[in-house]
Amino acid sequence: MKIVACNSNPPLAEAVAAALDLPLAKALIRRFADMEIHVEILENVRGEDVFVIQSTAFPANDNLMELLITLDALRRSSARRITAVIPYFGYARQDRRTSPRTPISAKLVANLITEAGANRVLTIDLHAGQIQGFFDIPVDNLYGAPLFARDIKERFAGRDIMMVSPDVGGVARARAIASRLNCDLAIIDKRRERAGVSEVMNVIGDVEGRNCILIDDIVDSGGTFCNAAEALLLHGATSASAYVTHGVLSGKALDRIEASPIETLTITDSIRLDATRACPANLRVLSIAPLLATAMRNISEETSVSSLFD
Percent of the chain with pLDDT over 70: 96
pLDDT for res 197? 59
What is the separation of C-alpha 93 from the centre of its chain, rounded to a whole number of angstroms?
A: 12
- CATH number at 145-287: 3.40.50.2020
Highest mean pLDDT range out of 46-50, 128-132, 228-232, 300-304?
46-50
State yes or no: cis peptide before 103, omega within 30 of 0.
no
Q: Which CATH class is domain 2-142+290-309?
A: alpha beta
CA-wise closest residue to 184 among 165, 156, 201, 158: 165
User: Which residue among 2, 26, 107, 190 is the active-site one?
Assistant: 190
pLDDT for res 307? 80
- Flag whether 209 is marked binding: no
CA atoms of 88 and 108, how far apart (whole Å)? 16
Choice among 123-127, 187-191, 293-297 with the minimum mean pLDDT? 187-191
What is the separation of C-alpha 290 from the centre of its chain, rounded to a whole number of angstroms?
A: 15
- Flag whether 62 is marked binding: no
- Flag whether 302 is marked binding: no
> Each residue of 157-193: pLDDT tens digit?
989 999 999 988 889 999 999 999 999 999 998 766 6
Query: Residue 254 carries which DSSP code?
Result: H
Q: What residue spans in the chain does CATH classification 3.40.50.2020 cover?
A: 2-142+290-309, 145-287
- Flag whether 287 is marked binding: no
Q: What is the pTM of this model?
A: 0.92
Give DSSP secondary structure letters for 147-202.
HHHHHHHHHTTTS-EEEEESSGGGHHHHHHHHHHHT-EEEEEEEEEEETTEEEEEE
Q: What is the 3-state secondary structure (H, E, C) of 264-288?
A: CEEEECCCCCCCCCCCCCCEEEECC
Q: Residue 268 pLDDT > 90, yes or no?
A: yes
> Model confidence at 282, in pLDDT bands (50, 70, 90)?
very high
Residue 148 identity: F
Q: How far is CA 283 from CA 83, 228, 265, in A?
A: 31, 17, 5
206-234 residues labelled b (16+ CB within 10 A) or e (exposed): ebeebbbbbbbbbbbbbbbbbbbbebbbe
- Flag whether 136 is marked binding: no
Q: Please confirm, yes or no, whether 2 is among the known catalytic residues.
A: no
- Flag whether 127 is marked binding: yes
Q: Residue 246 pLDDT > 80, yes or no?
A: yes
